[in-house]
Structure 1
Amino acid sequence: MGGLLGVLLVWRVASALFGGGEPGLPSGGGTPASPTPTDDGGNGVPASTVEVAEDFPLPAIGTRLEFKILGLGDDPKRCEAVGLLVGDDQRTAYHHLCGDAEAGTDVYFFLVRIVNHSDAAQPIALASFEMTADGGDTLPALDVETANATREHYFPERIELGPDSRIKKFVAFDGSPPFTPARLTYVDGTQALVIHLRGTWIGA
């Protein structure tokens, strides 16, 4: 764990570091996906949860929340960028190998936006994020509150998101040993908002 904290300590999030911002959506993006019940609870998501899924870089739009992985800059100064080629469109999905990481340690950084489309405040919890690797293993989000990192850039353990409000912050996952991300899930009550990471990986 000390190695991971070291990565978080030396890695400082800034717009100049990542370059670029949120990419525009392809035509047809931003429409609600058809929810389907999940088949089991093997991935840490309750079996009764209804899944609303989309493919990166589109958002998954649930009853209350909209969940989206934002594209990052493809030439960061202190990290390595990993992108997905979807058709003819290449987007950077995450950064890793940032700063002076100890040998054998790595952290994957995803920039995520959540929008509250409801008329009431909704709790946003770090524990509700889950990464699934292509082999089926699941990983919880790292709690960077335990490190003296640039905390305001990361999702906190819990926050209330007001009606018609949005939050855009980083979610970090333990990348040691390395894995290939397959899907990022945010569980909102009985809905699992899922972004599939499908395509050809560039820079992985």
Structure 2
Amino acid sequence: MGDDEDAFLAKRLEGMLTNAGVAWLTVSILSYLGFPLADLLPLPLDMAVSFGSWLWALWSSMMAVSLLIRRGRDVLATLCAILVVLVGARVFTAEWGTTYAAHQVRLHQNELAELAAEHRAGRLPEEFELPRQLRYLTIDGKAQRQDEALYLPVWQNWRAEDGAGIAYFSTPPRPDEMVGTAAGDGGLPVRHLGDGWWWVE
């Protein structure tokens, strides 16, 4: 391999590694924002964006591995391929819904604490509009009082048959305590997010 070709491949490899890094970062961000994006985008567009980001990440990663092999860096190429598999598996299997919810609960800790206090005092109607800074958390900017739970619907599928969200319980809920998450569907509290707030699905 001549010096000019080696320099060309080295420059191309550097660009492809940067491209792959940006692609995987984009996949992670889109996965984290999966529920709010599902509310904002039509289903075909949401699926296309998700599929396109994964295709970009995998293609750029495989191109980087191919360039490493062309430069005779077989060991480094193998390590890079293993890293791609590990990163892809981690991103694919991560519980992005609960991660997103936990971050939002921490971000709005004070506002949610005030809302919980109003719920415990019995001053909230069955359905009401959330304060402006919390409206983006739910599919319609509203919250629902369901018996002992105060429920914020974060996501529903396009037919409103399945849903998930954040619920506040003044006392720890039973493992089998159902919360209405969509028309004809109920969810269970599966992860405590802090301060009495739970992820329900």
TM-score by length of 1: 0.27
**Larger strand percent:** 1
Highest RCO, 1 vs 2 (Cα 8 Å, sep ≥ 6):
1
Greater radius of gyration (CA):
2
> Which structure has more helix as a fraction of its residues?
2
